[in-house]
């Protein structure tokens, strides 16, 4: 097992930030998660997890330019750090190892 543990929602958010590479901000992350997973995500839950992932060192963030369309408010863009990438790789390896260990008869119906 890896050194860094992620909850399911944390892993999904981290993966989504990676998918959006360079374009990961609150609404875009929610839209991507909802379209790919078909599950509803609240902005409050997302913001909590983004802060937690940043505190753990898995993400960094920076503000983009202010736009008139957003009333002068700037978007906060998130990026996966080296530690975040390592953690995602570990999570993937763990899951693949578990999937490979399932006897074929279990999944065949």
| pLDDT value at residue 105 | 85
pTM confidence score:
0.86
For 8-106, the fitting CATH number among 3.20.20.140, 3.40.605.10, 3.30.365.10, 1.10.10.10 is 1.10.10.10
**Burial group, residue 84, by CB count within 10 angstroms (0-12, 13-18, 19+):** buried
pLDDT tens digits for range 44-98: 999 999 999 999 999 999 998 766 666 667 899 999 999 999 999 999 999 999 9
Specify the DSSP class assigned to residue 42.
-
| pLDDT value at residue 71 | 62
Query: How confident is the model over 8-34, as a mean pLDDT?
Result: 97
Measured distance CA(9)–CA(29) in Å, rounded: 12
Q: Where are the beta strands (DSSP E) in the chain?
A: 59-66, 74-80
Instruction: Pick 105 or 19 by higher pLDDT.
Output: 19
Distance between terminal CA atoms of the chain?
A: 30
For the chain, the structural domain boundaries read 8-106
């Amino acid at each position: 097992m890896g050194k860094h543990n992620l909850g399911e929602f944390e892993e999904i958010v981290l993966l989504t930030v990676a998918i959006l590479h360079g374009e990961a901000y609150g609404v875009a992350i929610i839209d991507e998660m909802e379209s790919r997973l078909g599950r509803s995500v609240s902005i409050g839950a997302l913001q909590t997890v983004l802060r937690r992932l940043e505190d753990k060192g898995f993400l960094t963030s920076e503000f983009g330019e202010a736009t008139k369309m957003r009333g002068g408010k700037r978007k906060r863009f998130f990026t996966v750090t080296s530690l975040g990438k390592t953690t995602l790789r570990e999570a993937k390896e763990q899951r693949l190892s578990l999937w490979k260990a399932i006897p074929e008869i279990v999944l065949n119906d």
